[in-house]
């Protein structure tokens, strides 16, 4: 595999960053995931951390170097994350469960597989156009599909942030899967939270990223979205990959997995409370305790072999 990949998360106008992102790759498979925590008072970020870390941990264990069944991997990991969040809620006697949206994508054998719940999105871009994207599990999306409102009305609708499926809800999440989607050289897969897509359309992002270096273009997109979001803008996070079968950018920004061993996995995962981009007023002791609790919760559903 050869690809260029970039991830970043920004606080926007919120007091805390409850988004989480990760990417991991073995010699022959790549995982990308984005989660948008809901619930406030640190618990939204806990739900998002559990979701992202469950995906990353399972990938590290099973991608040796291929996943046997990418769709099964996505279904199992997201379901386990959902139950782990419910366990965390019960153990801490929380009045309401922390929740998170999540979108995750696997690429192997030049084929992409993705799944999502909620309104975190995936776009597949080719030659400056969006050729596939996820459909939000939101009330607004249902109204749009039924022809009850227009896109312009949806942008300012009071229910635009209300979703009907997520991880951590008392009801089981609706997890929607893509088809197996072959990739072409130069294709871009972009996963993001609503802090980005809510103020910048997929079509505009596709045009802006065509033929660019992702490591330079994505930060510019995020900066523009921060300005548009203003003082009350949401957290905004993205993981984007350009799929390559030959060098199209500087070697320093392109990743080749050809020299990796079958059992080797590389992961880029920001641990809870350790990244300055995720502002938190927790003390060091509280962060350490939260990390231990999240790890224990995940391990229950991700037992080491």
Comparing 16-25, 110-119, 157-166, the range with the smallest average pLDDT is 157-166
Each residue's pLDDT tens digit, 221-231: 999 999 999 99
Q: Quick check: 157 and 139 in contact, CB under 8 A?
A: no
Each residue's pLDDT tens digit, 237-251: 999 999 996 434 444
In DSSP notation, 54-83 reads: HHHHHHHHH-SSS-S-HHHHHHHHHHHHHH
142 class by beta-carbon count within 10 Å (0-12 exposed, 13-18 middle, 19+ buried): middle
Of residues 199 and 146, more confidently modeled = 199
Looking up residue 134, the CATH number of its domain turns out to be 3.60.40.10
Phi, then psi, of 2 in degrees rounded to 5: -140, 130
Number of domains in the chain: 1
| Bridge pairing between strands 29-38 and 129-133 | unpaired
What is the CB neighbour count within 10 angstroms for residue 96?
Answer: 12
Confidence class for position 195, pLDDT limits 50, 70, 90: very high
Which pLDDT value is given to residue 248? 41
Give residue 188's domain range. 2-301
């Amino acid at each position: 595999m050869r690809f260029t990949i970039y991830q970043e998360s920004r606080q926007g106008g919120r007091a805390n960053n409850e988004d989480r992102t990760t990417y991991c790759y073995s010699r022959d498979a790549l995982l990308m995931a984005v989660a948008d925590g809901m619930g406030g008072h640190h618990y939204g970020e806990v739900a998002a951390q559990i979701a992202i870390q469950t995906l990353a941990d399972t990938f590290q264990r099973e991608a040796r170097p291929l996943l046997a069944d990418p769709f099964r991997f996505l279904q199992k990991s997201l379901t386990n994350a959902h139950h782990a969040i419910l366990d965390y809620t019960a153990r801490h006697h929380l009045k309401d469960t922390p929740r998170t949206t999540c979108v995750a994508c696997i690429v192997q054998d030049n084929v992409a597989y993705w799944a999502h719940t909620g309104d975190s999105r995936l776009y597949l871009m080719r030659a400056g156009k969006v050729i596939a994207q996820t459909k939000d599990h939101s009330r607004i999306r249902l109204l749009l599909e039924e022809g009850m409102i227009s896109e312009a009305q949806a942008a300012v609708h009071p229910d635009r942030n209300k979703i009907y499926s997520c991880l951590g809800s008392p009801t089981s999440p609706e997890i929607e899967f893509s088809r197996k989607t072959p990739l072409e050289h130069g294709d871009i897969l972009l996963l993001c939270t609503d802090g980005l897509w809510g103020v910048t359309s997929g079509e505009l992002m596709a045009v802006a990223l065509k033929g660019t270096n992702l490591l330079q273009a994505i930060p510019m997109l995020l900066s523009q979205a921060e300005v548009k979001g203003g003082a009350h803008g949401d957290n905004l996070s993205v993981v984007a990959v350009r799929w390559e079968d030959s060098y199209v950018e500087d070697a320093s920004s392109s990743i080749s997995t050809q020299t990796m061993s079958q059992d080797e996995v590389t992961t880029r995962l920001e641990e809870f409370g350790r990244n300055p981009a995720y502002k938190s007023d927790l003390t060091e002791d509280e962060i350490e305790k939260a990390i231990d609790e999240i790890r224990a919760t995940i391990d229950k559903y991700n037992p080491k072999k």
